Structure 1
């Protein structure tokens, strides 16, 4: 390339073009052994080698001169070979004469696996085929050059702005390299200088990958007080979306305060500390997060409705997850103190626990802490007098979590045990949720909170020593202090709010959530438990250990319980070995088959639901389109599959669940009924669909059961699982989110929970909410979610946390969160038609926080014309759509009128929120029918505001008039607090009636009304709804198609029903007398069920 030879390369190329440029001092040379003996071998001193590292640390620049391209300098140290590339073969590579071959297994000198960590002549801290990081205790952004197996090396630590170089040491191999580098990192002077300027308190920029935490340390000596009570918060802000993570510092002894962060999204994050302690206040820095290269390592465990969901690429990329914890008290430690205090031994034991779990078909390892929280080695509260968390115990626990998570596993923690053995916090000063316990709870949140890979149950035998109130108090406090949410549960008790599990006690005691001692009786019991709460996931947290004394869960029972829980929709379980259990499982391959079928092949999807109607011989999970289905039949000789309506043919495989995992190809199945005859009787599972093409994360587009715009009938909404959806209820109070006295942290003391409770059981199913009512809206200056109500400070996470509590309760009760971004006339950002960065951050923060709710509709603005242009509204809709991973409905509200032409063809707007101020039910109906016709099926209608609605019969008749015109209904002035419960119930009765029909295929057809019929919704020739507000005589329909019909009569005032089966109807205009028990204000659902 340069025209130089061995004799001239130093003088003509190496020195002038590189070493002189970086001011090398010790005459580096390619002639380490002279010209004749292996020419071209580099000799360089440690300090000159470090200069070479500095060149790459500065991205190819030396003293403001770009010596090598920035792109190359970045690429060279960040392009590790993928694990799919194998090691070299046995044949030696051709080399320059007298040089040794590199890469042959026959010549071991310098031969090693690339371990997923070798880039362009640089070793990186990547993840190998075994899921382990190259240097597990070293920052992930480290890279280096190593010669002679590590004897000679130079390592760059970008996050610490440090280069380390050594020569002729006894360091050999990655394990010793890790040990040396860990010691160097731990001794690094990370604490900033005590100076008043911002610059001296800046930690600079560090790099990491998603799901691996970083840690910072600050040295601070207190003159008085308990350091574990010091309050110091750190706010991390994502530059791209404005998402905020607020975590807390923790005291680690020896005047050291630390804080941690895990990147949940790629890109740049900035942070700033805040504390009344000056030494801990005002520190800043940045973190650049890249995508984790290991697909085996996942993020935080969360949930979508009652399904567990795991974060994959980032916190918006969710995949269905089956939660099954494993304990082996026979062979491996389960109590924290059993792991010991030697962290190297802890790592070894944790790895062995995970290995045993995986060998038995599980990946969640159980760890029981008890009073080890306060003093490692002590389980009982009467055997220690500590009031502070024990940092050593936390080092052990986090080593367990980190080791298992780095290999793709997870940890389920029990915080406490039973009081009979004193394994509770009752005996610590202040008792349950007392001073010492609260100190511990904050410490757990600060120290373990940023670590992905764990969940926590409060313990067992909770009925002995605590109650539901105390447990909810604990959960609320933990979630308030978490910067990264973790799923919590309390066995046998209902925890309110999000991020909590319904955890079942193992015995039939008088507690809220129970299951039998031997597990659920059958699949049906599991399905009923899952359906008991659609908003939160479920867990049978009693340890259903193998043949434990008092239990009868044998091999068949264990395997089948796993499959029942999965096929019921994702019930969690707890398995393994109690001390008196026989070990091992006689057929662990059966449990591994379950793990491989579901986990390894990503077959549990968040959009799956039970669809047992698709088979007469098996349990079924299916997505709405049937393109991905799982059939499971026990002792089956054949399995029936009804794939009628599937949009395209799909491949299918079968697995014998009682054997080692092996797929039997069934072939490609078309959209019809199939009967697969098994090779022999056994418990068989069939997977229909190409799950690989669904994407590795099987990414959720709309949550199971979520309200969506019907893609086949855009004039209506539906549930994503295919169920019909109708909405009728309160169109007030607009100030719902801001009712009550304002607290210092921005939250409210209002009656919101009482309003939600009042709606319970009425069937009314919506509340009209405003996010911003200030800045020209109807509220005061505090009616916004910003920190101290200052837009420039961003959204207050405490406010959103409180909203989340209310929204979760609404979602649980299927009450629509009808959330307006802006009140009428509210204009926060004056950016014309454009959505500026601040507004974009506001929108994305709001959407990302609440998009997981099923019963949610976004509405951009009330009476949008008062503050926004149509173009601005469209741009806002586009931002909502881009941020919302779940395809929620987006609506727009207008001033009085029926014209929606400016948005008729806007793809991101699904609903016209109508304001139509007329006096009578008839006028409302006529207006809605006109709006329906004008919509031409492009969007759906919601009569969300009409003045002087009235109450009682007037209210009810107006609701039915709108519904029969083709619109959902929200009632202005129905503030819930002063609303008669009977009015709410009238709304609920309308909802119940409509959702029992196939109205989503109907259109207004008043022209078909006959006799006393007032309004008609219909799919002519198939099914109809006929309505009369004051029937005189018969009710009837014109142009009936001859056939056999089913008539369901409904009293709109009382909810009474009368069903008439097999009614023969001749063609033409026909009418019927109303049956007894039905009043004159009625509706009839008329469905053709057969021909004549």
Structure 2
């Protein structure tokens, strides 16, 4: 191991050879291990030898070393951060020490890629050095290349659809297909990663959860949802959490909301460090096990809404400022997980942080993330009657107004206390973002009072009909890019902290997926926008591309007139709760009332249910 002088640069080498690379030192050849399918969008892993260190080494391997690799093709260069990987197989070995250093990269282009890698040592260099140093005789580097083949069209999930990217519209796009992504998300349990089979994971004093063993998730009812050839780690660990993801994916859910740090928060059982207070020392084996789960999510096509903190703990790191520990926290997240294809970085749940702090976080993440993943933040809740300086408190406005037009911010993650406001609130922020010439992707990520959310199927007064109308269709018919469904705090044993069995909301997943399938199968929704002004009934919603296609959501026991253009149109009806086929009888539930106007009512006289009506030009 080299001397501890600042700004020392190490040769990177590996005894196990898969692909060969050359070192600039005369007369020597150094080797590295390259792993991966070498297909477009599928991650590759480069493993190098470096200093033999441990998680608690006197020289901090997370803070005082920095691995940086430039990947270049003919068009572009990505500066990708690497990380200390212990023995290179920590997920299985639970190793805390070793000499392996890794970098992961997801190539978005075919053809030849060249790379140059440096491992640097220096005081706090991990949060200081973000580019390769200028060449001089004291710097050692290793170079190599590999060839990336075209996309594997037989792959599932994001490996065939590409990375989710923001392109200046109201929907994230799948970079390979160019299609918009409509999020159909699971928003609970927020401590999804408080899983008993992850290393170094324990209940550090969270709420009483008598239905959980030692306060941690096991997802036992989903072990049978694990399939042969699905991943595990260690001694067959992980079947419960992998099976849970399989079940949700099979129900059509394509996104998961979870915290990666809730130390001193609601659950107080999720953190990336070796201990809650060791905030510059990372748990390598735990994070490698998280990586196994996140890789499975990519294969399923499940987006990762990565919440980096919550309202109860957003001053844990540097009292809320962008200090050393917070910079390292973001750097480790980006280095270890930034190659995943469906990431949204969320700056905080129910944020209390100032606009200046949020912008500092966003700027830093954007600087170190070579893939420029979308950045979001979640507003604090608006509670009726709360006031500040004599005026009604509006934390939604206070959170998002300063972020309008900001270059490194794309997604307001809405929490709505009053679900009757969802429809107009989504439209409000879409319209305001367009006026600032940076259109936002608006997500509805939490609804209702903290103790309610979306109830279980068997709850005595389940709220599925109300949520379907006000929040699911209410948001999508305003132009929202998707939803996540929060479980509430009362419905033990299936609330936001204790939820173990996702089948407790099996019927709700169907209702939510019906909306996603309807939009994807029947609408050019990325070209449509809200047009409630075309309706005579303000209880109904209209989403349209005027003169081409109109969609009207009609609540039970309601009628409405719709103003449409000249010409011939078809009409069809859809049951948003039952899903399935469109009913297209031409003489049921509509009639011409005057030129360029139709009156819409329930299909076939079934006024006791909500209907979605599609009017399209022939």
TM-score scaled by length of structure 1: 0.37
Does the 8 Å CA contact 2:24/2:142 hold for their aligned counterparts?
Answer: no
Tell me if structure 2 keeps the 8 A contact 1:242–1:844. Answer: no
Segments of structure 1 that go 5 or more residues without pairing to the other structure are 1-73, 75-130, 143-177, 186-209, 218-233, 250-257, 272-286, 300-309, 311-319, 324-526, 537-608, 610-703
Q: Give the match for residue 6 of structure 2.
A: none
Match of 1:777 in 2: 265
Cα deviations across residues 83-110 of structure 1 (Å, max 9, x unaligned)? xxxxxxxxxxxxxxxxxxxxxxxxxxxx
Partner of 2:145: 298
CA displacement 1:607-662 (0-9 Å, x = unmatched): xx8xxxxxxxxxxxxxxxxxxxxxxxxxxxxxxxxxxxxxxxxxxxxxxxxxxxxx
Which runs of structure 2 are paired with 1:58-77 in the superposition (5 Å)? none
Is it true that 1:718 corresponds to 2:231 in the alignment? Answer: no
Cα distance between partner residues in 2 of 1:1026 and 1:1050? 10
Separation of aligned partners in 2, 1:855 and 1:778: 26
Q: What is the aligned partner in structure 2 of residue 814 from structure 1?
A: 301
Query: Contact 2:262 / 2:310 at 8 angstroms: preserved in 1?
Result: yes
Measure the CA separation in 2 of the matches of 1:881 and 1:261: 23
Out of 402, 408, 411, the position equivalent to 1:902 is 402
**What residue is the counterpart of 2:75 in the other structure?**
none
Q: Which residue of 2 aligns with 1:709?
A: 166
Distance 1:857 1:215 in 2: 32
Report if aligned partners of 2:200, 2:283 keep a CA contact under 8 Å in 1. no
- Which residue number corresponds to residue 346 of structure 2? 859
Change (3 A) 1:1078 1:803: farther
Q: Which residue of 2 aligns with 1:247?
A: 87
1:993: Cα distance to partner? 1.2
2: CA distance between counterparts of 1:243 and 1:213? 10
Please tell me whether residue 1082 in structure 1 is matched to residue 595 in structure 2: no
In the TM superposition, 1:476-625 aligns within 5 A as 530-531=153-154, 533-535=156-158
How many residues get paired? 450
Counterpart in the other structure of 2:126: none
Q: 1:1048 & 1:994 partners in 2: Cα distance?
A: 14
CA distance in 1, matches of 2:429, 2:46: 50
Alpha-carbon shift at residue 966 of structure 1 (Å): 2.9
Equivalent position of 1:846 in the other structure: 333
- For residues 510-540 of structure 1, the C-alpha deviation after alignment (integer angstroms, 9 at most, x for no partner) is xxxxxxxxxxxxxxxxx8xx3352455xxxx
2:598 equivalent to 1:1070: yes
The structural deviation recorded for 1:763 is 1.8
Q: 1:744: how far off?
A: 4.7
Cα offset, 1:820, TM superposition: 0.5
**Contact 1:765/1:988 (<8 A) preserved:** no
1:743-768 CA distance string (max 9 Å, x none): 45889773233432331322233322
Distance 1:268 1:795 in 2: 18
Q: CA deviation at 1:1026?
A: 0.7
Contact (CA 8 Å) 2:261, 2:308: kept in 1 or not? yes
For the Cα contact (< 8 Å) 1:890–1:910, is it kept in 2?
A: yes
- Give the equivalent residue in structure 2 for 1:926: 424
Q: 2: distance between equivalents of 1:772 and 1:907?
A: 26
Given the alignment of the two structures, is residue 972 of structure 1 paired with residue 510 of structure 2, yes or no?
no
Match of 1:1045 in 2: 569
**In structure 2, C-alpha distance between the alignment counterparts of 1:141 and 1:889, rounded to whole Å:** 40
d(CA) in 2 for partners of 1:725 and 1:859?
Answer: 18
Q: Distance in 1 between matches of 2:88 and 2:172?
A: 43
Q: Distance in 2 between matches of 1:984 and 1:1085?
A: 23
Q: Distance in 1 between matches of 2:295 and 2:202?
A: 19
Instruction: Confirm or deny: 8 A CA contact 1:730 1:768 kept in the other structure.
Output: yes
Cα deviations by residue, 1:764-823 (Å, 9 ceiling, x for unpaired): 33322001101x42232x521112334344322222222222222333333321110111
- Choose which of 142, 149, 173 in structure 2 pairs with 1:321: 149
Separation in structure 2 between the aligned mates of residue 878 and residue 260 of structure 1, nearest angstrom:
30
Q: Is the 8 A contact 2:416 2:422 kept in 1?
A: yes
Q: Which whole-Å CA distance do the structure 1 matches of 2:179 and 2:605 have between them? A: 29
Alpha-carbon distance between aligned partners in 2 of 1:887 and 1:1061, rounded to the nearest angstrom: 48
Using the TM superposition, give the Cα deviation of residue 709 of structure 1 relative to its aligned residue in structure 2, in angstroms.
2.6
**Rounded Cα–Cα distance in structure 1 between residues aligned with 2:362 and 2:600:** 48
| Compared CA separation, residues 755 and 891, structure 1 to 2 (3 A) | same
The structure having more radius of gyration, on CA atoms, is 1
Contact 2:190 2:257 in 1 (8 A): yes
Residue 1067 of structure 1 and its aligned partner are, at CA, apart by 5.6
Partners of 1:1012 and 1:1036 within 8 A in 2? no
User: For the Cα contact (< 8 Å) 2:351–2:379, is it kept in 1?
Assistant: yes
CA gap of 1:742–1:980, structure 2 versus 1, over 3 A, is: same
Residues 408-807 of structure 1: matches in 2 within 5 Å? Answer: 530-531=153-154, 533-535=156-158, 704-711=161-168, 713=169, 715-720=170-175, 721-740=177-196, 743-744=199-200, 750-751=218-219, 752-774=241-263, 776-780=264-268, 782-807=269-294
Is this contact kept in 1: 2:532–2:538, CA < 8 A?
Answer: no
User: Structure 2: how far apart are the matches of 1:973 and 1:961?
Assistant: 19
How far 1:878 sits from its partner (Å)? Answer: 1.4
User: Any idea what SS the aligned residue of 2:402 has?
Assistant: helix
Q: Is the CA contact 1:535–1:811 (under 8 Å) kept in the aligned structure 2?
A: yes
CA distance in 2, matches of 1:849, 1:1019: 42
One of 1010, 1016, 1020 as aligned partner of 2:542: 1016
1:928-947 matched pairs, under 5 angstroms: 928-936=426-434, 938-946=439-447, 947=449
Do residues 952 (structure 1) and 481 (structure 2) align? no
Deviation of 1:289 (Å): 4.5
Counterparts of residues 200-215 of structure 1 (less than 5 Å): none
- The reply to whether residue 878 of structure 1 matches residue 501 of structure 2 is no
Q: Distance in 1 between matches of 2:156 and 2:469?
A: 33
Counterpart CA distance in 1 for 2:50 and 2:244 is 43
Whether contact under 8 Å (1:730, 1:766) holds in the other structure is yes
Asked whether the equivalents of residues 196 and 202 of structure 2 are also in contact (C-alpha less than 8 Å), the reply is no
Is 1:985–2:510 an aligned residue pair? yes
Q: CA deviation at 1:944?
A: 1.6
CA contact (8 A) 1:1009 1:1016 kept: yes
**1-structure distance, mates of 2:585, 2:310:** 49
By how many angstroms is 1:1052 displaced?
Answer: 0.4
Distance 2:180 2:538 in 1: 28
Deviations 1:881-905 (A, max 9, x none): 2232333221111112431111002
What's the CA shift string for 1:263-318, capped at 9, x where partnerless?
Answer: 986443359xxxxxxxxxxxxxxx954363xxxx316xxxxxxxxxx5xxxxxxxx
Task: After TM superposition, give the deviation of residue 1048 of structure 1 in Å.
Answer: 4.2
1:991 is paired with a residue whose SS is: helix
Structure 1 pair 1077–238 and aligned structure 2 pair: CA distance change class (3 A): farther
Structure-2 change in CA distance of 1:740 and 1:869 (3 Å): same
CA separation in 2, counterparts of 1:216 and 1:874? Answer: 36
Unaligned runs of 5+ in 2: 1-8, 10-18, 31-44, 53-59, 69-80, 90-97, 104-114, 123-137, 204-215, 220-240, 383-395, 455-462, 489-495
Across the aligned residues of Structure 1 and Structure 2, the Cα RMSD in angstroms comes to: 4.1
CA contact (8 A) 2:157 2:302 kept: no
* Structure 2 contact 410–440 (Cα < 8 Å) conserved: yes
Quote the Cα distance in structure 2 between the aligned partners of 1:262 and 1:270. 16
User: Structure 1 812/881 Cα, relative in aligned 2: closer, same or farther at 3 Å?
Assistant: same
